[in-house]
Amino acid sequence: MTVSQNHPDLVKAASRPDLGILLERLQSLHNPTVGISVSSVGTAVSGTRRYELPRIHISGPEAGHDQIRLGLFAGLHGDEPAGCVALVQFATAVSANLGWMTGYDLMIYPVINPFGYECGTRQNHEGLDLNREFWRGSLAREVQAIEQELRTAKFDGILTLHSDDTCEGLYGYAHGRTLEESLLKPALQAAARYLPLDGRAMIDGFAAREGLIHECFQHVLSAPPDQRPRPFDLIFETPAHAPFDLQVSAAVAALEEIISIYPGFISYAQDL
């Protein structure tokens, strides 16, 4: 039984909600006494407008292993709001069922490009594609803030949500690693309850098979280049022209599947 099955959608996802409404929903989750805190990790300024970069920290009950620290990211491209809503929906549901997060420590960054989200643009207020700016000395304040989070947290896993207006269905980037592929395949299958997979042999300019891509663009959001061991790193894409609510449901289903199965990989590795 998944979190979303137990708790209906609390963020009405028929269309892209206003940025203010989305941020209000985030603030309503703040409850440090049960291990949920909402804060800002940085700001972006456009003229007289100041945008906060929100973070939700959810610390689940302890388990028989070190807490698994995951970073969940969305909204790098402001015209891809489904991932933003999916992360807020996911966090809202989890906050009502923290037991499901046993053994996990989650950092959720639902709106990395708030200017782009508010204006419906891919780029930030400086005209930059933030997902081509990582680990190259970028001056973009959003990128600098997230890079600092990545350095400090040293995540065990990174999951980034996107939408693609050129694809025919769901797909994801596995970065050529066996662990990523083993996690992404069942995540795509879980999400396929809502939207079909993109079965093309070429997606977004890369060779693909059953919705899996093993290469990726340069300078996308990822762990620090010198982090060892490397965390698992997945990018999940929904078709941007699909119904908005189905994109959100598909992304939440993928997240739930990955979080459900990943502890099994740790147990298996410990038995080797």
Where exactly are the structural domains of the chain?
3-271
- Contact of 192 with 170, CB cutoff 8 Å: yes
Q: Which of 29, 216, 52, 180 is nearest to 106 (CA)?
A: 29
Q: Which of 136, 119, 151, 122 is nearest to 231 (CA)?
A: 151
Report the CATH fold assignment for 3-271. Aminopeptidase (3.40.630)
Is it the case that residue 267 has pLDDT exceeding 90?
no
Q: How far apart are CA 73 and CA 150, in angstroms?
A: 11
Whether the full predicted model's pTM is greater than 0.85, yes or no, is yes
- 220-230: pLDDT as tens digits: 999 999 999 99
Separation of CA 36 from chain center = 18
- 193-249: pLDDT as tens digits: 999 999 999 999 999 999 999 999 999 999 999 999 999 999 999 999 999 999 999
**DSSP label at residue 43:** E
